[in-house]
Amino acid sequence: MKKALILGVSGQDGSYLSRFLLEKGYEVIGTSRDVQMSSFPNLVRLGTYDKIRLESVSLNDFKSVLQVINKHKPDEVYNLAGQSSVGLSFDQPMETFESVSIGTLNLLETVRFLGKPIRIYNAASSECFGDTDAHAADESTPFHPMSPYAVAKAAAFWQVANYREAYGLFACSGLLFNHESPLRPKRFVTKKIVSTACRIAAGSKEKLMLGNIAIQRDWGWAPEYVEAMWLMLQQETPDDYIIATGESNTLEDFIGEIFSCLNLKWQDHVEIDNDLFRPTDILTIKANPDKASKKLGWTARHKMRDVARMMVEEEMVTHTAA
């Protein structure tokens, strides 16, 4: 039985990954900053809470990381921990950089120090590329990070590449483009749109307040993306991959699809709030996921319109149950 350690198991990706690996027959250990203080609602929702072992780990503390890896001796480590909100990173740049970059460095140094054949997956981000304009980014596209979050993720990406090349670690980074699910926290705009639209459909008179709806993103389905993470660690040699659908849409398109699923006209319920615009924001980002398709055999099965429909369906079930 293979053993996997998921750093940051309580989030969207960590929760889906825990379920995926359990289905593959893995023994799964998951970490959070403070296990005693968390109720792990995502794990409970997916039915994995009582099937994995949970440990408290501070990724910013080298000793903490060393102890948990030395204790469990995993075959694979998935680094999904750290501050994950682009918007919040503008308010908390120091916390964001430390949790993402320093945390990743502690993990890499721990594996190097122990000298064990542990395979590492690192969660990088499409945000590293910045605005790609009409160009679809591939793995050779230069980085141009435009937020504290993106800067931190770019630094972590190059740390992983350096440890792979300099020390021979089996370490990969997944440059994941936007991927959504019902497990998204409320601070993410997609979840905000879906939740508010469903309340409006149920009779609420509120308005959906948004910032720049002209931005373009590549939206995929999170449960599919965790499979790509696993596939990276099953290859003969470590490498970095873009994981995306290859289709970009505007936020306005996403909004329209959500409201259309509810038989509503979005223009009647949405207002633009200039205070919600970010100091710097990526207008357009496009992806070329051909490498993942050719080398991993992975291709996104669901695109934006599927994602919108599935999120609305799940939200309406939750709303009805409540």
DSSP state of 235: S
Quick check: is 98 catalytic? no
Angle between helices 222-232 and 12-23 (to 10 degrees): 60
Angle between helices 304-321 and 189-201 (to 10 degrees): 50
Rg of the chain's alpha carbons, rounded to an integer? 19
Task: Give the pair of three-digit tokens for residue 17.
Answer: 């990954």
Task: Give the pair of three-digit tokens for residue 199.
Answer: 């309340």
Among 10, 89, 125, 147, which one carries the catalytic annotation? 125
Contacts of 122 (CB under 8 A, 6+ apart): 79, 104, 107, 156, 157, 160, 171, 172, 173, 174
Task: Give the pair of three-digit tokens for residue 28.
Answer: 């799964």
Among 127, 180, 224, 257, which one carries the catalytic annotation? 127
Quick check: is 149 catalytic? yes
Task: Give the pair of three-digit tokens for residue 218.
Answer: 């590549």
Among 149, 163, 225, 241, which one carries the catalytic annotation? 149
Quick check: is 127 catalytic? yes
Measured between alpha carbons, how far is 43 from 229 in angstroms, rounded to an integer? 19
Please identify every residue annotated as catalytic. 125, 127, 149
